[in-house]
Amino acid sequence: MSEAMVDGPVTRSGFDQEKIVDAVRRAVGTPNGILGLHEPVFAGNEIAYLEECIKSTYVSSVGPFVDRFERMLEEVTGAKRAVAVVNGTAALHACFRLAGVEPGDEVISPALTFIATTNAIAYCGATPHFVDSSLETLGMDARALGVRLDAIAQKTATGTINRETGRRIAAIAPMHTFGHPVDLDAIAALANDWNIALVEDAAESLGSTYKGRAVGSQARLAALSFNGNKIVTTGGGGAILTNDEELGRRAKHLTTTAKLPHKWAFVHDEIGFNYRLPNLNAALGCAQLEQLDGFLASKRKLASAYERVFAEVPGVRFSREPAGTTSNYWLNAILLDEAYADRRDDLLAALNDAGFGARPVWTLMHKLPMFAQSPRGDLSTAESIERRLINLPSSASIRTRDE
């Protein structure tokens, strides 16, 4: 019996759409207009730092705020090196390149992820290989990964290959869905056993921890995102994290057009990428990082309010942080019982009509035309989650009814 089939009752009695809408209302009040899914909060030094940046004339990819932002990220995450880049997708692309992913390789990733994970694999000329997700974490299921590797993987002198396709399996890329950390120890153990690089997609999980350590600090390479809808934003931006000093230097070189340092000469020693984060964006990010603790506290308080109100509503459960972790609760999520999956779209319409900017989870990657032929294992749990998950308004600015 699959994990997806044991979640919730199998009868249709008790489902009440209005009770679910009212539960959201009891948690956050009645919105004046539309309460967005995730909106940025600018309540610190953003304007002051932007003015300082503009006055300095250093608004492009060189400037003191870039350096400051990278050092702040290292302090927040515990990673030895942080390299700021233009967006999370660029960070992932660079991470895969740095991990040695080459054209013709495969990278194992969840089918339940934002398309940036999969696009970045394709940018390398590699093929995504999809595995199932866990109901507990909503991210890559270590058990499903182990089953899949046992079924198709073979160790060779040149690396681990997929016996069915003949391609090398170059990396495993778990993603921490909505800020909920995956079971990193179990996934890392499998990557180590099979001699496959681990690249951590931490785009949604700044501020989350796994067994007391910051997410993004435990794999050899990890990627962050600072898009406008993330817990901390630079407008658009991302970062590469690593604990390998040499890899950090190479990350900066590769993402700065692979230009060799010189006072005036333009000499590039390999094909690089113009992925550096502008100083202007980094200035915004520094002001945002100064407020991270407050953002996290507000978002955890909101998650607690949602969890409390939904404990009283049949036919639905709130997705809470996995045991042994703390989640940043980037996006709060509820899961309808499987018996009510066909009511999801009606509920989405009702929530949005009531002023709550709710949305479904992403379309699974193997259902998109460009990745439909990619290899994959059993995806029954991911498909179940896709049918019945709803994200709720999650901004750090939202005040709960009991505040």
Whether residue 19 lies in the annotated active site: no
Of 55, 80, 211, 230, catalytic: 230
Contact by Cβ (8 Å): 73, 82: yes
Distance (Å, rounded) from C-alpha 299 to C-alpha 248?
31
Query: Rounded to whole angstroms, how far apart are CA atoms 293 and 403?
Result: 18
Pair 78, 213: CB distance under 8 Å = yes
| 319: number of Cβ within 10 Å | 27
Cβ-Cβ contacts under 8 Å for 8 (sequence gap 6 or more): 315, 317, 335, 336, 337, 338, 339
Dihedral angle sign, alpha carbons of residues 150, 156, 162, 164: negative
Nearest CA-CA partner of 165 in 183, 144, 179, 151 = 151
- Residues in contact with 71: Cβ distance below 8 Å, sequence separation at least 6, in sequence order: 82
| Active-site residue list | 230
